[in-house]
Structure 1
Amino acid sequence: MANDILGVEITTKRVKLVQVSKGRAVRFSSAVVPDDCIQDGLIVAWDALEEVLRNAVKEGHFSTKKTAVVIPDAACYVRRMVLPAMSESQLKVNMPYEFKDIIQDDKEHYTFDYSMIGMKYGEGDAQAPKEMELLGAAIQNDMLEHYQQLFLHAGLKLVKATPRIIALQELMSSLSEENLAHDTAVLDLGYHETKVDIFHNGIYEATRSIDAGAEDVASAIADKLNCDPHIALTYLESNHDDVLASQECKDVYTKIAVEVMRAINYYTYENQSNTLKNLYYDGYGAWIQPFVQEVANAVALSLIPLSSFDESQQDALLNGAAALGACLE
């Protein structure tokens, strides 16, 4: 298993771990993240996460120390760009200037990288590329150092850091060649928020973040039963007395479903020639059937579990998609 790699994504509620061998998930596990470790999508309690990560690796019986981490949207900048064709060394010099409108700090404080989309050639000269299209990424050096120390103290070796968007792009491209020929969308029914990521011919196109998720379902349960939020979360996860079918929970599902519908409708309206037919779902709330059904009723697309691409990787695809994608090339 010398070539295996462990993908890790740290979200508001869970650390997700996926061991990947030869491009396939062979083991998945997750662990609960303590309250207040993550704020606004960013880790604020690094020391507390060291023990969580160390125990998660031990309890998950993972056999590799090589690790790829998913960088959350809030911790990096990613943008699609078209540049004149240039060498790798020239691109390294020019990349920082493509972020000058959003990065006001000294560019020396950031690490820049990219994922190549393709080259554009001039008419009549197929050997001479004129332009290059790519996804550029930027992350603060201090943030990368925090991640390196986190994994080092947890007994792991960080060898790769991939923005969430690029990790998903790699995953969707690897799952089916059909994803490279038409539009696809991924719905992350997350704990703290819900995300709709759209890909055009396998390439990242847009993200819509909705400031609501399964956490809001838990809050609705707490209000309905007049109980502590932590107790409400256990009721959610066990569907205590069929509480997930209550009107209070349904109101939350409907609220989120309407926003998902708006995100999809906006994309299809702005891109009249789109080929979007399927919406693949995953995430913390993917198992809540009334929630999934409410979204299915709202959108004019086929709502399909992401695991439908490969049932043998079901746990990783439904619960750790980005962590799996971060391990792929």
Structure 2
Amino acid sequence: MTGNIVSFDIGSAQIKLVWCAGGVCKAAVSAPVPDGLVRGGTIVSMDAMADLLRQLAKENNLPRSAQAAVILPAPLVFTRITELPPMTEGQLTYNLPFEFKDYLTQEKSRYYFDYAVQELVRGEDDSVTRMKLFACATLKTTIEDYRSMMNRAGFKLKLALPEEAAYAALLTDCIRRTQPESRDYCLVDVGHAGIRMFILRDDRFITRRTIDLGMLDLIRSISERQGVDEHIALTHMLSNYEGAMTDPASMDLYHRMAAEITKAVNFYNYNNRQQALRRVYLCGGGAAVGHIGDAIREVADLEVLPAADLMPDTGSDAPWLYTRALGCALQA
């Protein structure tokens, strides 16, 4: 990462952006997403989002000369781990589209393809016999839409990245800085619409799990119990009005989340006994809810840590919000 980079992670409920310059995080900013502007992880109006990003940049004195990096939402990018025989870069460029033949809905010429080499498998004579790759594909129109959005917001798009690659970049930086003993990671993003778990070994993405429980479920539960609309329920959640966060129904939801997270970890550990996970790192908006971490500790023999332990200083009081955005900036 060199120069000025502003990295954007646009979620269903919040926009998170990180400004980095010269390898140092200068600012980390979040703002709510207006109702209906993002649905299912996808931006509904690029122009409206661009105007919102421009306003955020102005309010937070972000440099207009900065280049932009952005996380591509999961519905807009195909990712997979694949294994190929050794080949040249040109051969990879030709062959990579065929690895996505079961996923693409349009002609392959309409997609961009990219990859990162995760491992070179060597034979007895030390020659490379196989290449393990993290590969991705997205429509060219998707990139052009994001490029136009960033141009309207006053930025020049440098990089668009799937979230798996952002986590990998974050861990590359973490390992370089800290040289940890254990290098098996499980990042648990407790988001608005659901929970997403990303498992990596060193900085190599292994697998992902999705759980259909999130902070929206908590907001709706509070809304129903207290007889208020979801906007008011959100303020009640944030202020713990009338014990909204410790109500038995809320505590039950935390334990349901913990049970699903534990099941996913146990399934992975059963199939990977030599690299079993012993800890999870919480990020996303739900990481601020201490009861979720407590519930995981109650139901599983796991150490629960904040994702901030993996990150350089962001200067923010809520660094767990910026895990992906920071990883994206580090990759840029």
Q: Is the 8 A contact 2:175 2:202 kept in 1?
A: no
Alpha-carbon offset, residue 291 of structure 1: 2.4
Instruction: For 2:38 and 2:259, locate their aligned partners in 1 and report how far apart those are by CA, in whole Å.
Output: 27
Deviation for aligned residue 1:45: 2.2
The residue aligned with 1:95 is 96
Give the TM-score taking structure 2 as reference length: 0.93
**For 1:15-46, what per-residue CA distance to the aligned partner results, in whole angstroms no more than 9, with x for missing partners?**
11011234342210011111122222222222
SS at match of 1:266: helix
Contact 2:188 2:197 in 1 (8 A): yes
Residue ranges of structure 2 left out of the alignment (5+ in a row) = none
Asked whether the 8 Å contact 2:170–2:311 carries over to 1, the reply is no
The 5 Å alignment of 1:236-315 reads 236-310=237-311, 312-313=313-314, 315=316
The 8 Å contact of residues 265 and 277 in structure 2, kept in 1 or not, is answered as: no
CA deviation map 1:90-140 (0-9, x unaligned):
11111100100111420011100111213223322x3x4332221000001
- Partner amino acid for 1:236? M
Q: Deviations over 1:288-321 (max 9, x none)?
A: 1222211232232100001123573363741111
Secondary structure in structure 1 of the residue aligned to 2:165: helix
What does residue 150 of structure 1 align with?
149
Tell me the C-alpha RMSD between the 2 structures: 1.9
The match for 1:27 is 27
* Cα distance change, pair 184–210 in 1 and its aligned pair in 2 (3 A): same
Structure 2 letter corresponding to 1:36: G
Deviations 1:256-295 (A, max 9, x none): 1111111111111121222321101111111112222112
User: Superposed, which structure 2 residues align to 1:80-119 within 5 Å?
Assistant: 80-119=81-120
- Is the 1:277–1:301 contact (alpha carbons within 8 Å) kept by the matching residues of 2? yes
Higher deviation after alignment, 56-65 or 194-203: 56-65
Q: Distance in 1 between matches of 2:142 and 2:29?
A: 25
Q: Relative to structure 2, which stretch is displaced further, 2-11 or 315-324?
A: 315-324
Which residue is equivalent to 1:319?
321
Partner of 2:224: 223
Provide closer, same or farther for how the CA distance between residues 248 and 170 of structure 1 changes in structure 2, counting only shifts above 3 A. same
CA–CA separation in structure 2 for the residues paired with 1:50 and 1:104? 28
In structure 1, the partner of 2:4 is: 4
Distance in 2 between the 1:247 and 1:119 partners?
51
One-letter amino acid matched to 1:61: N
Paired residues for 1:177-256 under 5 Å: 177=176, 178=179, 182-256=183-257
* 1:25-77 CA-partner distances (Å, limit 9, x unpaired): 22100111111222222222222212211111112222252011001211101
User: Structure 1 CA distance, aligned partners of 2:199 and 2:310?
Assistant: 17
Identity of aligned pairs, percent?
29
Distance in 2, matches of 1:84 and 1:222, equals: 55
Q: Distance in 2 between matches of 1:155 and 1:311?
A: 27
Query: In the alignment, is the contact (CA less than 8 A) between 1:180 and 1:201 conserved in 2?
Result: no
Partner SS for 1:236 = helix
Distance in structure 1 (CA, Å) of the matches to 2:269 and 2:22: 36
The worse-fitting range, judged by mean Cα deviation, of 292-301 and 319-328 is: 292-301
Distance 1:208 1:314 in 2: 30
- Three-state SS of the structure 2 residue aligned to 1:184 is strand
State the alpha-carbon separation in 1 of the partners of residues 166 and 287 from structure 2.
19
Q: How many residues align?
A: 327
Task: State the AA in 1 paired with 2:201.
Answer: H
TM superposition outliers: structure 1 runs of 4+ over 6 Å:
none
Deviation (angstroms), 1:179: 5.9
AA matched with 1:12: S
What amino acid is the match of 2:162? P
Partner Cα distance (1:298, 1:154) in 2: 46
Aligned-partner Cα distance in 2 for 1:258–1:34:
32
Shift of 1:239: 2.0
- CA displacement 1:154-194 (0-9 Å, x = unmatched): 11111001100111111122112556963110011111111
Aligned residue identity for 2:308: S
Aligned to 2:130: 131
Q: Would the alpha carbon gap of residues 118 and 179 (structure 1) be closer, same or farther in structure 2, given more than 3 Å must change? A: farther
Match of 2:123 in 1: 122
User: Which residue of the partner structure matches residue 47 of structure 1?
Assistant: 47
In structure 2, relative to structure 1, the CA distance for the partners of 1:49 and 1:310 (3 Å cut) is closer
Indicate whether 1:17 and 2:21 are aligned: no
Q: What residue number does 1:173 align with?
A: 172
Post-superposition shift, 1:4? 2.0
CA–CA distance in structure 1, aligned partners of residues 34 and 82 of structure 2: 38
SS in 1 for 2:274: coil
- 8 Å CA contact 1:264–1:299 kept in 2: the answer is no
Letter in 2 for 1:139: T
